[in-house]
Amino acid sequence: MFKQHFFTLSNGNKIPAPSTIGTGSIYFKSNEEDYNPSLTQFLERSLKELKGVIHIDGADCYKTYPETGDALKKNFKEGWKKREEIWYTDKFDSKGGRSPSPKAHINKALEKLDLEYVDLYLIHHPHVEKSLNLDIVDVWNEFIELQKEGKVKNIGVSNFSVKDIENLVEKTGVKPVVNQIEWNPFLFNQSPGIYKYCQENDILIEAYGPLSPLVNYLKGTDTSSEGAAFKSYLDELAKKYGVTNTVVLLAYTISMNVLPVTTSTKFERIQDAQNFVNDHPDLKLTKEEVERITQLGLKHDASRRYKSWTDHYTEYESQSQKI
């Protein structure tokens, strides 16, 4: 029987996992006018046919509000999912003059999405556009106000280091409930010590790039023997549990207390992720299996998708694969 998995955030709210529809990366566009009907159709089909709570990951810079807004409107018109059966995450990004302030941005986003609130609002990265008269603490203070106003139900950050988070907490006394970072067994620490810090401080890590170890291998961009050994163990477990190796990796991520944020252009893959992670009675990786996946991952070099978030990433490499 289908049983939706939820993580409990530090404020007691429950967040559905996995997030199966990321509207960035493969759907990323440079402007909203380049409408992508395949994304609208994909979202509509997911809202209509998938079981459980649909967790959509969005952001200002993905430029996918028109498609998401159209799909949400159709959903409510057709009565497929109720508002509480949809989780929508949005992100604020001031870089390149994208948005002057979190408040200005969220008001516009809500209008485009035709929603009264978003479930989670994240600061996309710790950099604030220099020409704006704001620093990162001002941004966080606006987030806190927006939560009080009810326009955003939960507030968090993305691509933040330990220092970045400590700065916000020290200046405002308010801890983010989520830190969305690049995370998978080939990149345990996007920045030094971030996995352990978030676990110890009850900040839920959301992983983007959760499938990179498999995707890079399949694409042929990872030709290492460690990559092959990793995939081969996932295949062994997939056979044992009667699921795909993708599902094993997503189940592993959840076992590590990390919420995977994945996406696909193929409905069957999304369905597989949504259904099997939530609906497979036998899919309980043992402690030993989880540990073996971790150990195989640690043998692989740190593998990072975006190298330019911060100047420090090269320095971090030697610390990225320590947990």
Ligand X SMILES: NC(=O)c1ccc[n+]([C@@H]2O[C@H](COP(=O)([O-])OP(=O)(O)OC[C@H]3O[C@@H](n4cnc5c(N)ncnc54)[C@H](OP(=O)(O)O)[C@@H]3O)[C@@H](O)[C@H]2O)c1
**Phi, psi torsion values for 212, nearest 5 degrees:** -50, -45
184 three-class SS: strand
| Dihedral-angle region of residue 119 (phi above 0 means left; psi in -120 to 50 means alpha; beta otherwise) | alpha
Nearest to ligand X of 55, 150 (CB atom): 55
Which residues fall in the annotated binding site for substrate? 124
Nearest to ligand X of 218, 229 (CB atom): 218
Please report whether residue 229 would count as binding ligand X according to CB under 6 A.
no
Please report whether residue 23 would count as binding ligand X according to CB under 6 A.
yes
* Shortest reach from residue 136's CB to ligand X, in Å: 16
Selected range binding ligand X among 140-148, 165-173, 205-213, 281-289, rule: CB under 6 A: 205-213
Q: Mask of contacts with ligand X, 255-294, x by CB under 6 A?
A: ------xxxxxx--x-------------------------
Nearest to ligand X of 246, 320 (CB atom): 246
Q: DSSP label at 83?
A: G
* Shortest reach from residue 217's CB to ligand X, in Å: 10
With beta carbons less than 8 A apart as the criterion, state whether 180 and 122 touch: yes
Please report whether residue 253 would count as binding ligand X according to CB under 6 A.
no
Give the DSSP per-residue string, 203-240.
-EEEEESTTHHHHHHHHTS---HHHHHHHHHHHHHHHH
Q: Which of residues 174-193 bind ligand X (CB under 6 A)?
A: 180
Nearest to ligand X of 211, 302 (CB atom): 211
Nearest to ligand X of 212, 303 (CB atom): 212
- CA pair distance 273, 210, nearest whole angstrom: 12
In 3D, which of 120, 112, 10 has the Cα closest to residue 66? 112
Distance separating the N- and C-terminal Cα atoms of the chain: 35
In 3D, which of 62, 63, 67, 78 has the Cα closest to residue 39? 67
- CA pair distance 224, 203, nearest whole angstrom: 33
Please report whether residue 52 would count as binding ligand X according to CB under 6 A.
no
Please report whether residue 94 would count as binding ligand X according to CB under 6 A.
no
The tally of CA atoms less than 13 A away on the side-chain side of residue 227 is 18
Please report whether residue 221 would count as binding ligand X according to CB under 6 A.
no
Please report whether residue 246 would count as binding ligand X according to CB under 6 A.
yes
* Shortest reach from residue 87's CB to ligand X, in Å: 13
* Shortest reach from residue 79's CB to ligand X, in Å: 26
Q: What residues are labeled active site?
A: 62
Q: Site size for ligand X, by CB under 6 A? A: 25
With beta carbons less than 8 A apart as the criterion, state whether 76 and 48 touch: no
Catalog residues that contact ligand X under the rule CB under 6 A: 22-26, 57, 158-159, 180, 208-212, 215, 218, 244, 246, 261-266, 269
